[in-house]
Structure 1
Amino acid sequence: MLAAVWRAEDAGLLMPRWDSANGSGPLAFYRAASAVKKLGANLADSLPAETGLAMSVVLIPQVMWTRFEVGREGLSVQSHSEGPGDGDLVIVTEEKVVRDLVYRKLDAGTAEKTGLLRFYGDPEGIANVREALAKTSGATLALPGR
């Protein structure tokens, strides 16, 4: 994942590397948690409640897990969870990628194609999330299954 981020930075897909003063510190956890929650909220708006989708996002290299469940009552978020729940779709990425997806600086198809975003789990759930990400990130098409 880190190599994919470095290649994306060098290619201009992502902003250049932060210096250590900007990328860490007492607010780093809150900044990361906020970005992931915004991504989850964007996805929930694009996913039908009937999917009953449960997904977990893990940020690398922090190994910070956030778990989401989409249901009739809306989105349930568990920040800094222990890990994914049984049957969860898992998304592996980095905070910088999440921020760029949320603020539409990067589309999900490009993020997945370049290794910045990886999915693990049920193929139908992955297809639903790809479609929702395509809607929220401004991409015209989600990537086909691998």
Structure 2
Amino acid sequence: MLSVTLTVVLVVATLQLLLFLGSDLLDLQVNWTGEGLVGLLDQILVILIAVEVLQNLTAYLREHVVQIELVLVTALTAVARKVIVSPPGMQKDPAVLIGLGVAIVSLAAAYWLVRQSHLKRPPTRTEPATPSPDPDRLP
């Protein structure tokens, strides 16, 4: 039920974004180099984050395991969105910038550690072991 609701919300949000974009493209007085572009990027990134949350939910419902890589990528995208579409007044507060920087570095390090642990893990055996032809011989 939750994934169906999220899918409906995503479809409606995407249609709303397309209508917003279409009306702005027809209006020649829209400033695409300032707040107009930042607003558009904000809406696109929010939809992207919602798609990633839907992907997390779907993966959990299929495998009954939380896939930490997907969660970290979603969190990294959300923090990056905050940095990309930050209002102009936020650059004056160094505490917020330091906090966002620490969050990005922490999430990136966590993602790197998870990826490294997956790369070094030996492959799982899918076939039963075959007995050796000479049982008296030690390997």
Query: If the length of structure 2 is used for normalisation, what is the TM-score?
Result: 0.26
Which structure shows the higher helix fraction?
Answer: 2
Higher relative contact order (CA 8 A, sep 6+): 1
Q: Which protein has the larger Cα radius of gyration, Structure 1 or Structure 2? A: 2
